[in-house]
Structure 1
């Protein structure tokens, strides 16, 4: 699935980008307020490689959105020491709490936008890389796979009235190495790249295979993936903004259609009640006569 991302497109000119970006942001700001008033919740998940710019893409949006109805959760790395010491690991148990717990605890209300800077798929990948990737990617029939929890979680979000948008920010290994090194060498951004993260590219090939298969198996109709080129900031920003605008417009249209349907059903029910009362009165009068 990752092979669908193309890295050979010509850079977009700044003037062209800014015109489209400003137009999309203006729409997004208005739609956020409408969604807030209508009780429409939006869950936006950003997954991808270290150094792909997930946090920067969220920051570009957060600068313009209403902070009162916007939240950001940053996923934490797996602690190998805690994982190693947990006594239930050999039985397939991954921790004291469900793997999805921190994500649903960070979930905003159904009138807000919740951004996840690395979410449940990163958690799944880290557990797979630590606990026998082959076995966990191809479990026995009676075993519950990590993706079962992912599917249930996203399905519950949609069923509960949220709109789920999933972005995967992709980049080549060469670009990842260069970007991480550049961030590490700059004193201003060095805090963003630890020594461990700087060396994370060594597992690129293994993680690529896991990500590719996970993306294919989790590209659900109710929560599809949107693949992004992390090496092209401008096109990526436009794709993100246009996707969010489209998602909110469709959600608001469905909400309006549902409200009209509910109003129609209520009016019909009221009319049926009045008709039943009229028939009852007529029957009583006839009986009395």
Structure 2
């Protein structure tokens, strides 16, 4: 039985030189291109659910994935606070509406786990509500997997010191200041409470069919390599990665144009 992940046991990654990291990332990007074609041909579906501390590198990881893939079957959903309509609905409804169709990939930049993280820590919901959500989320994920969805859940973990440095870097960079808000700083003041909520989330929702992968992301390059290695490995499980043969009618039609 796999050990339940935790922030404390997340292993620091060995630093990777920039050139080596880019070489590895390009290799994984080629694998993603192959996987996208296999998923399209076989009608497979995949969800990559990303959680993590503010400034942990979710956006950078998403860009490395998206650069490699055809946007016609890749959808990235940045999740923020629910709007007025969504607040009147069941909290999972806005995620049901964004699930991938056959042949598609969906990346969620923050997820349904906001129910047991920000909504819990910030006191937006009562304790019985977020306690009940663990079972609801497990049932939701089981329903997806039973229906054939390949679900990957990654949490990017950074140290408190590293997060502070990244916030300072954002403040000094005019092109990145838009990423920093007073809400980020307010959330940081709740660091200890978030640690408790995150570890309980792992304990309650890292299941045999939908485990959490925690990646220590103080070193951005090493974290991106580790995440892309994990994603390509998990997306490949149980699949025949042989691309379909050329349709002879297509070849015949094209040859006739010579």
C-alpha contact 2:11 2:215 (8 A) present in aligned 1:
no
C-alpha distance in 1 between matches for 2:218 and 2:45: 30
**Deviation, structure 1 residue 2:** 1.2
* TM-score using structure 1 length: 0.75
What SS does the corresponding residue of 1:247 show, helix, strand or coil? Answer: helix
Alpha-carbon offset, residue 111 of structure 1: 1.1
Q: Please report how far the alpha carbon of residue 158 of structure 1 lies from its aligned counterpart in structure 2 after TM superposition.
A: 0.3
In structure 2, the CA distance between the partners of 1:78 and 1:173, relative to structure 1 (3 Å rule), is farther
2:171–2:180 contact (8 Å) kept in structure 1: yes
Partner of 1:163: 150
Instruction: Tell me if 1:100 matches 2:105.
Output: no
Do structure 1's residue 2 and structure 2's residue 7 form an aligned pair? yes
Partner Cα separation in structure 1 for residue 203 and residue 240 of structure 2: 29
The DSSP-based 3-state class of the residue aligned with 1:65 is coil
Deviations along 1:34-86, one digit per CA (max 9) or x if unpaired, are: 1111011010000011111111110111011111100011111368xx7xxxx
Equivalent runs, 1:41-120 vs 2, <5 Å:
41-77=45-81, 95-120=87-112
Distance 1:63 1:204 in 2: 33
How far residue 149 of structure 1 moved from its aligned partner, in angstroms, is: 1.4
Secondary structure in structure 2 of the residue aligned to 1:73: strand
Q: What are the Cα deviations for residues 147-183 of structure 1, in whole angstroms up to 9, with x where unaligned?
A: 1111111011101110000000001111112212221
Answer yes or no: is 1:226 the counterpart of 2:231: no
* Structure 1 residue 108: Cα displacement: 1.5
**Are 2:137 and 1:172 equivalent residues in the alignment?**
no
Aligned-partner Cα distance in 2 for 1:134–1:76: 20
> In terms of Rg, which structure is larger?
1
SS at match of 1:167: strand
Uncovered stretches (5+) of structure 1, i.e. residues with no partner: 83-93, 140-144, 255-289
Superimposed CA distance per residue, residues 15-44 of structure 1 (whole angstroms, 9 cap, x where no aligned partner)? 322332222221221111111110110100
Q: RMSD value over aligned CA atoms?
A: 2.5
